[in-house]
Structure 1
Amino acid sequence: MGRSGCISSVSSPGPGDVRIGAGRLQLGRQDTTVNLEDRDRLVLFEQVLRSLVPEVKGVAKRGVDLALEAVREEMRSVTGTPPSPQAEAQLRSRRDQVHARIDASSSTRDWQGEAFEREMQAMANELVPILAADVARRGMELAMAGDMAGAAVLQRQAQNLPQTMRARIERSLEPLQPDVARLCPRVRELAELNQGMSLRLDDGQRLELLRLKD
């Protein structure tokens, strides 16, 4: 979540190549033999992970809400008015879509670090045309009222809207950094448990249940 996140990828038990649960391990949906020490570590890993993933998702949802509020602030800054009802409906719809995807996911990999930033930028790119239409509408109102200078200013701001909105979204996510930092000790605990396991893949490589950022 942002560039200071401590996680590169953490997957929770669920459909996929690796599944863990109650000290059991499945690779490709096939049970894998686990010794007693690794079984204990898997149980602890699962417990910590199950408590961690909802919190990561919660931070991601707050990030989505902050980003969308930043979009609203950008519109108020440019036009002096809130987004139009159509634009506001699009903002709320996008929020609901992303929240639903976060709820349905079984991994944190899409909701932190560069992946989350890409999601926010994609959302901004999708909303720019809608918000630009709001700016154009306001500019037309000013022009019809005889304020040609004001209309010209809005036109220039509309051209810069993609850049200014992205910058505002990035700034809006900065308050999440303390939340991300508070998650890091448990992520390191997961890494230590994983490092202590003797589990190997079929090709002999160590099984990585998560990766930490360099």
Structure 2
Amino acid sequence: MTARWWIAFVAVCTAGGVAAQDVGQLSCGVASTYDLTVRPDALLFERPEVAPHSVRLHDGSLATDGRAVALRADEQDRVALFERDVRALVPKAKAIASDGVDVAARAVREEAGRASPGSLSSGELDRVLASRVADIKRRIAASQSTRDWQADAMRAYAQEIVSDITPVLSQDVGSEAMQLAMNGDLDGAAALRDRVADLSTGGQARVLARLEAALRPRVQALCPAVRQLLDLQSGWRDASGQPLMLIETGG
């Protein structure tokens, strides 16, 4: 399965709420079949399906599947620049992801408030949200692998936030709905339950759409640097002499 290029992880996590024709714009028009791990001593690109399965870059050197690639001096310079530029992009991309978690949490809180205004009064929902946000942001800050930043991971983070507040919301709504029913407002109780059910089914798509709108400009601001990587890898070959494309056009 083709993995999105790591710098586009924020855009990909919002793709569920974006038209297909917009995804290329969000992902800077590039993609990769590799997962990237940023190690202190090297960049490691890995994929299971097609050789080369691993590509290692460090200080102007290049190795594929454990075999060193002979490079000219100018190619060594471009490999070194590629590594330097990727390392410079990582903290910027992680900052976008971390801020995206805050955007998602605010959107979820607003969704909960619209569904059941009374659910915000106790402060429990805010406590649960703050705890989950802090946990996710710690994971993003500590991670050095795009496996933690790509579409599935980011969607899972959004779902974690929604799932965490569901028990709190359900408890508050149950009490509120029962009170409405006891006061004879059966329609009001039913409408309240419907709004909460809609948060579970349609709320995530709305949260992702908010993320897309908020983060699109910041993702696009990084696109020139991402596209520069395409130029730096031009002409690279693996240890078997086959063309090597760590990233490619078409995201």
Same fold (TM over 0.5): yes
User: Could you tell me how far 1:144 is from its partner in structure 2?
Assistant: 4.6
Task: Name 1:11's counterpart in structure 2.
Answer: 36
Matched, 1:88 2:126: yes
| CA distance, structure 2, for counterparts of residue 51 and residue 139 of structure 1 | 52
* Alignment CA distance shift 1:100-1:8 (3 Å): farther
| CA distance, structure 2, for counterparts of residue 127 and residue 84 of structure 1 | 16
* Alignment CA distance shift 1:30-1:87 (3 Å): farther
User: Could you tell me how far 1:172 is from its partner in structure 2?
Assistant: 1.4
1:21-36 counterparts in 2 under 5 A? Answer: 21-28=58-65, 31-36=68-73
| CA distance, structure 2, for counterparts of residue 147 and residue 49 of structure 1 | 59
Matched, 1:206 2:243: yes
* Alignment CA distance shift 1:5-1:49 (3 Å): same
| CA distance, structure 2, for counterparts of residue 39 and residue 187 of structure 1 | 19
Report the count of equivalent residues.
211
Question: Is the 1:124–1:162 contact (alpha carbons within 8 Å) kept by the matching residues of 2?
Answer: no
| CA distance, structure 2, for counterparts of residue 133 and residue 96 of structure 1 | 24
- The two structures have a TM-score, normalised by structure 1, of 0.81
| CA distance, structure 1, for counterparts of residue 81 and residue 37 of structure 2 | 13
| CA distance, structure 2, for counterparts of residue 181 and residue 116 of structure 1 | 21
Task: Name 2:94's counterpart in structure 1.
Answer: 57
Task: Name 1:45's counterpart in structure 2.
Answer: 82
* Alignment CA distance shift 1:45-1:83 (3 Å): farther
Question: Is the 1:56–1:108 contact (alpha carbons within 8 Å) kept by the matching residues of 2?
Answer: no
Task: Name 1:132's counterpart in structure 2.
Answer: 170
Question: Is the 1:57–1:108 contact (alpha carbons within 8 Å) kept by the matching residues of 2?
Answer: no
Task: Name 1:181's counterpart in structure 2.
Answer: 220
User: Could you tell me how far 1:42 is from its partner in structure 2?
Assistant: 0.9
Alignment counterpart, residue 187 of structure 2, candidates 141, 149, 154: 149
* Alignment CA distance shift 1:136-1:184 (3 Å): same
5+ residue gaps, structure 1, are: none
Alignment counterpart, residue 197 of structure 2, candidates 137, 141, 159: 159
